[in-house]
Amino acid sequence: MREITYAEALREGLRQAMTADPSVFAIGEDIGVYGGAFGVTAGLLNEFGAERIIDTPISEAGIAGACVGAALTGMRPVGEIQFMDFVTLTMEQIVLQAAKVRFMFGGKASVPMVLRTPSGSGTGAAAQHSESLENWFVHVPGLKVVMPSSAYDAKGLLLAAIDDNNPVIFVEHKLLYKTKGHVPEEMYRVPLSQTNVVREGKHVTVVATSVMVSRAVQAAEELAKEGIELEVIDPRTLKPLDDAPIIESVKKTGRALVVHEAVEMGGFGGEIVARIAGSEAFDYLEAPVRRLAGLDIPIPYNRELEYHTVPQVENIVREARKLARGEY
C-alpha cells in the first residue's frame, strides 16, 4: 500500500468528498491561493474554483457562522480555523447555535458541518498559536470531537465527519502533517466512535490521543527491551467515546496511564479515568490510574521550555515503567 503524509491524506479525503457531493465545500482563511496555513488545501482552488474553495477575511466568527448557515440550508461545509487557539472566536456560532439547533427544532433541522483546526505545540509558535482546547468542545452536548493520530485515520475520519449530520470538531496536530502512513486510494470511512487498539500488550494500558499516540508507541518499543509490554489505545473520536476497548484492556493489564497534550486540569484524561473507575475494570486495578498531561502554563516560545511543557517519549517511558514495577 502506498504511503502519503497526514496532510496529503486530508487533502485527498476532502477532494474525494467534494468530487462525489456538490454540496461539500471548504471555507477559511488563505485556503485558496495559499493552500492553507499547513498546505492541506493546496491545489484545490484550481480543481474546484473559488465558489467551493472560499478564501475569507480574517474572521473566525464569520467562518463558523457561514458554516452553520450553509449547513442549515442543505450544504456540507468544511471550515478551517488556522490555529485552534482561535476557536475562542467561534464559540457563539458553534456552542450556542450549531450544537443546539437539532435539539431545539426537534430533529427537523440539522447542522452537517466540519470545523477543522490544527492544535498543539512543537513548532515554536508560542502561547497564542499552540493550544490544545479539544475538551472545551467535548463538554458541549450536540458536538462530536475527532482527533486523528495517523494519515490513515485522518482521511477515513474526515470522510466520516463530512457524512455526519451533526457538527464535528476535527482536531489535527501540527506535528502530524508531515508524518507518513499507509492510506488506500479509494474512499473509506473510519466510523466516529470506534476506539483503536494500536499496539497490544499485557502490563500497562496507555490511552493516548493525537500526537501522543506515536510517542506512546515509541515508549512501548523502548520498554519492550526491558520486558515491559504496553498496550497503546487511541480513542480517535473523543465524543462520542467508545470506552469498551479501554475497559477491556485495563481488565487485562490492571494498570492504566492516560496521556494527552492539553493541561491536566479539566483535560480529557479525567474523563478516561472516571470511565475506568466507574466500570468493572476498577476491580482489576493493581495500581492507581495515572495521568500524564501538559503543564498548567501557556506554551512558551523558547524551544527548550516548550519541549518540557508537554509529555515526551521519555516521560511516558518513566511513568509506564513505574506503573509496571508497582512503584506508585
| Residue 288 vs residues 75, 166, 268, 274: alpha-carbon distances, Å | 48, 36, 17, 12
Which of 8, 12, 29, 60 is labelled catalytic?
60
Mention every residue, 6+ apart, whose C-beta is less than 8 A from residue 317.
219, 222, 223
Cis status of the peptide bond prior to 240, with omega within 30 of 0: yes
CA atoms within 13 A on the CB side of 256: 29
Candidate list 8, 80, 129, 260, residue with the active-site label = 129
- In whole angstroms, give the CA distance from residue 239 to residue 155: 18
What are the residue ranges of helices labelled H in 131-226?
134-138, 151-163, 211-224
Is 261 a known active-site residue?
Answer: no
3 is catalytic: no
Find the helix or strand (DSSP H, E) in which 309 lies. helix 303-309
Task: Tally the residues of the chain.
Answer: 328
Quickly list H helices, 225-302.
244-253, 268-277
Report H helices in 27-167: 44-48, 60-72, 91, 101-104, 134-138, 151-163
C-alpha cell at 46: 484550481
Residues 6+ apart with CB under 8 A from 305: none
Q: Give the catalytic positions in this structure.
A: 60, 129
